[in-house]
Amino acid sequence: MTTTAVKIKHLREKIADPDFQENRGLSNEVSYYILAFAPHDQPMVSDEVLSMRQQLNRDTVGVDIVEFNLYKIMWQILDEMGISDDVLTMEKEDGIGYLVEQLNNALEMTSSENLFVQYMQQRLTSDPTVVFVTGIGDIFPLIRTHKVLNTMHQVITDRPVVFFYPGTYDNLSLSMFGESKEDNYYRAFQIN
């Protein structure tokens, strides 16, 4: 099994490759990647994401790296809707299952234009851009990764997207924290 440090090294090499930056060489596949890592490596991954954003910027490699933290986006959207305080009350009074259902409805997760995708689309302006999606473990189980993946790949198709996933991915299914199995997702490439 490839270590998280080796996967990060391979990702840095990929980002420096102009073919990766321009989505070339993928036989018309959507250029989505999953860097699955052991959950205990989260602090290292967070540090490396910040480091890559600072070091592999347009000045040194010719690409912008834009990070979208799903957890922070969720709270920002809920704040803008004026319901962030209600979320905490809802969980306490009605339980996590009810909260998950209500959040998925409020964030329009069954729509290909859900609020996460809309948020990202509005903020992707420069080319070439590599998109990093983080905060996946923080938002679990409120929002499932496969729901974001399934809607994003229909809308964001012109740039590479890398999901930093605390768990396992076997080119077919995702398993959060290596324990909680999500629905199958087979369109992303592994960073190994």
DSSP string, 120-142: HHHH--SSSEEEEEE-HHHHTTT
Tell me what pLDDT residue 187 has: 79
pLDDT band at 61 (very low <50, low <70, confident <90, very high): low
101 belongs to a structural domain: yes
10 vs 182: CA distance, rounded Å: 26
Residue 58 has pLDDT above 70, yes or no: no
pLDDT digits 0-9 by tens, 156-187: 888 899 999 999 988 888 888 877 677 666 67
- Please check whether residue 171 lies inside any domain of the structure: no
Structural domain that includes position 48: 4-28+41-165
Which has more confidence, 59 or 168? 168
* Percentage of the chain modeled with pLDDT above 70: 90
In a domain, 186, yes or no: no
* Residue 180 domain flag: no
Radius of gyration of the CA atoms of the chain, in A? 17
Residue 107 domain-assigned (yes or no) = yes
Output the pLDDT for position 153.
Answer: 80
Query: Is 132 within a domain?
Result: yes
Structural domains in the chain (count): 1
182 within a domain of the structure (yes/no): no
Residues 6+ apart with CB under 8 A from 123: 66, 68
79-126, pLDDT tens digit by residue?
999 999 999 899 899 999 999 999 999 999 988 789 999 999 888 877
More confident residue, 129 or 32: 32
What integer pLDDT is reported at residue 62 of this predicted model? Answer: 72
In a domain, 102, yes or no: yes
Residue that the structure tokens 């234009």 belong to: 113
